[in-house]
Amino acid sequence: MKLSEFQDYCINFKGTSEGFPFDETTLVYKVKGKMFALTNFETFELVSVKCDPEDALAIREKYESVLPGYYLNKNHWNSIKMDGKIPDEQLKEWIKDSYALVVKGLPKKVQAELLE
């Protein structure tokens, strides 16, 4: 996956915004102000996504290119090396799951708006 494909995929989720809240290189995708994906805009070496803690461990055990969240809560985030070993469809699935996990934690009224 190329950076442009990652950007196009992430921004198309309903209620999503993109920005650089930490520095000029860390591109962050949020749904209603809550992060669900991020990467370094210049290097695109890692993509970090939120994960259910049990799933996060299982994914790390299965894929050598998946690491505990880099500079993030290691229980709830995975960082995926963009080394070509993870198929694009799998990465998209993890991004979609991350978005859904964040939406699930939002107030019910906000969840309903996103499902319209």
pLDDT of 38-95, one tens digit each? 999 999 999 999 999 989 999 999 999 999 988 888 889 999 999 999 999 999 999 9
pLDDT of residue 37: 98
Dihedral, CA of residue 15, residue 87, residue 61 and residue 98, to nearest 10: 0
Query: Is 116 within a domain?
Result: no
Domains in the chain, number: 1
Query: Is 61 within a domain?
Result: yes
60-67: long-range contacts (C-beta < 8 A, 24 or more apart)?
none
Picking from 44, 41, 42, the residue whose alpha carbon sits closest to that of residue 83 is 44
| Model confidence pTM above 0.85 | yes
Query: Is 114 within a domain?
Result: no
**pLDDT tens by residue, 97-108:** 999 999 999 999
Q: Which domain holds residue 67?
A: 3-108
pLDDT of residue 74: 87
Query: Is 47 within a domain?
Result: yes
Q: Can you give the C-alpha Rg of the chain in angstroms? A: 13
How many angstroms separate the CA atoms of 85 and 80, rounded?
A: 10
| CATH for 38 | 3.90.1150.30
Query: Is 115 within a domain?
Result: no
pLDDT of residue 108: 94
Query: Is 36 within a domain?
Result: yes
